[in-house]
A and B are shown apart, each in its own frame.
Chain A
């Protein structure tokens, strides 16, 4: 073999190792979810599977643990929160991109800085607020804070995308006879669609995974979201039923996996936009 070929081979080996490092934990979890409680104690786990065990594990998650209720809760809460965040955040991003008024930059960076605030700093007062409003243990009690959490992100992603659209487009539309809000509605929204998808993607990821506020706002299982349900399985004090826990883990990973395949390019675009341009 020539030195180039050796180098190439090594590169591919490294590539495979990197891939394994990324995916092996998921595969291991998948493996565990196929085992009975006792089989898990075998190390390394033998690679023979028993269909009835798999059915038992996943069946328990679906039937006894009401997994689909959690999925439904997560979808409803994520969907509505993200939608509201877009409705509020897109016009604001547009205004920050286009209008210069006193302190506009300061306001914009203040809004962004909420994105970096430690959630615990607001979690306690928000919990007390939700309690005061009598919204504990309901969808609204989660949606209200979740919108606030994802709003800064939406505003900032949208500022970036609106900044990319030439201002002359707005001006042409105003000369053509529209007011600013109508310019946004009729001309810019179609153009900003990729930006809204990026913003929505990150809103969804954030809300889907959030559980600090959820943990305390939601008390009854009927209203659990997936992360809350998962966390309730995991209290360190009691021993974990690993077979079922692994199945819950897989059930949690799969929607994210599907979602990430669909929106992969928006994710990369959202993460990189700030650093690259």
Chain B
């Protein structure tokens, strides 16, 4: 296994569309790196450039410290798992897995040993004589994995390998891929659109937007300290609640004012966010994760400066928790980055957001305990876990008080990009 490094990598298509710019990143030996982002963010392009399936138009990609620009895919010694698996339909499972070895003129007994071992690792031993058409979706996925692991290549490249599976199977395969990767200690680049996969599988997660790297961090770090509004709203489900708030000085501390309501910012948070103090007197974007909101009736003694009041629009009882959609009297954060994330889900979400902004009301989501008596139509008091508030500059869209990490200028608005 080997390292994979990108330095200043860019991709411009012949028609002038830019898919990736100044992408610099090192994937360590044995690391599981996840590229995540909405469609058109450049993640697949980046992966395909490592594989040699796309020309590298700017910068350099190195595999095991060797520049691979211009090298044919077959000379790069990488293995790839495709979204639609790309199994050879006319070959048996055995032949599919054995193909790369056969092409490389591996001795037959060695091929047999390795294919059978791969079959065993993946639980495919009984299907080796079948053809792909006779397999279930999950089994096909395993064959695609088998084709990769049998090779012992420098790196595994996986392009949304689980997106064609149904939800349950996806959870199971997620764990399995992570296990296999760990067992083999294989350097892996994993592209996904699904932030849950990104969070659960990666050693590190690289978030991309319009061909620009936004943040590379351990999953928890990305979740807890998103670099900007884009990462904040893309990572997490349900999404982070984002409302406009006025930051004000109160005594020697800071408070956020949302219409008539006030939330106190704990002093240790102010200390941990250098520069936040400078925003006093300005409107900022306030981010609250759903799990930071709890029905105050369940939270015991809550001081008034940790409470928000709103009207329940609807509730979703999920068995283990209750998702309450609560309308607050505060404008939602509407910036380009937030808009993009919503648009990726469905264009109608953007329209909803804009009408909320018009009315200066925001529907936030809270994860309430199951004992909550919240009912649609009623008012509710919520406890806010203010220790984990997120603050964003509405101009630059960057997280306030996060040192440095914010890459590049804004991407070209004209870009129509590959994922």
Contact = CB atoms under 8 A, between A and B. Distances in A.
Q: Do chains A and B touch in the complex (CB under 8 A)?
A: yes
Given A166-B84, A179-B72, A179-B74, A172 B103 contact: no
B83 A187 contact: no
B82 A172 contact: yes
B264 interface: no
A176 interface: yes
A171 B103 contact: no
A176 B53 contact: no
A172 B83 contact: no
Contacts of A173: 88, 99
B80 interface: yes
Contacts of A172: 80, 82, 86-88, 147
A178 to B, nearest CB: 6
Of the candidates A166, A174, A175, A186, the one having the most CB atoms from chain B within 10 angstroms of its own CB is: A175
Interface string B60-88: 00000000000011101011101111111
A171 B80 contact: yes
A17 interface: no
A237 interface: no
A168 interface: yes
A176 B84 contact: no
B74 A176 contact: yes
A178 B103 contact: yes
B253 interface: no
A183 to B, nearest CB: 10
Contacts of B52: 174-175
Majority-rule SS of B interface residues? loop
Contacts of A174: 52-53, 72-74
A168 B83 contact: yes
A74 B99 CA distance: 42
A191 B100 CA distance: 18
B82 A168 contact: yes
Contact of B74 (A169, A177, A186, A187): A177
A190 interface: yes
B168 interface: no
A175 B90 contact: no
Contact-residue size bin, chain A (C-beta under 8 Å from the other chain):
10 to 19
A171 B100 contact: no
B51 interface: yes
A70 to B, nearest CB: 39
Contacts of A190: 90
B89 A175 contact: no
B86 A166 contact: yes
Interface residues of B, number: 24
A191 B76 CA distance: 26
Given A171-B73, A171-B80, A177 B86 contact: no
B84 A191 contact: no
Interface in B84-108: 84-90, 99-100, 103-104
Interface string A181-204: 000001100110000000000000
Contacts of A168: 82-86
Contacts of B73: 171, 174-175
Interface string A156-169: 00000000001011
Contacts of B99: 173, 176
A177 B90 contact: no
A261 B52 CA distance: 47
B218 to A, nearest CB: 29
Nearest to A100: B14
Contacts of A166: 84, 86
Contacts of B76: 175
Contacts of B89: 191
Of the candidates A171, A172, A179, the one having the most CB atoms from chain B within 10 angstroms of its own CB is: A172
B74 A175 contact: yes
Interface in B311-334: none
A186 B91 CA distance: 11
Contact of B78 (A175, A178, A179, A186): A175
A178 B103 CA distance: 7
A64 B205 CA distance: 84
Contact of B51 (A169, A171, A187, A191): A171
B159 to A, nearest CB: 9
Nearest to B79: A175
Contacts of A187: 88
B419 to A, nearest CB: 15
A171 B82 contact: yes
A237 B53 CA distance: 66
B131 to A, nearest CB: 12
A175 B75 CA distance: 8
B156 to A, nearest CB: 11
A175 B104 contact: no
A164 B381 CA distance: 58
B103 A176 contact: yes
Nearest to A167: B86
Nearest to B74: A177
A169 B88 contact: yes
A269 B312 CA distance: 59
Nearest to B51: A175
B103 A169 contact: no
Contacts of A175: 51-53, 73-74, 76, 78-80, 100
Interface of B: 51-53, 72-74, 76, 78-80, 82-90, 99-100, 103-104, 147
Given A168-B85, A171-B51, A176-B100, 17 more contacts: A168-B82, A168-B83, A168-B84, A169-B88, A171-B86, A172-B82, A174-B53, A174-B74, A175-B74, A175-B79, A175-B100, A176-B74, A176-B99, A176-B147, A177-B103, A177-B104, A187-B88
17 contacts: A166-B84, A168-B84, A168-B86, A169-B86, A171-B51, A172-B80, A172-B82, A174-B72, A174-B74, A175-B51, A175-B53, A175-B76, A175-B79, A176-B100, A176-B147, A187-B88, A190-B90
A-B pairs, top 4 by smallest CB distance, nearest first, are A168-B86, A176-B100, A172-B86, A177-B103
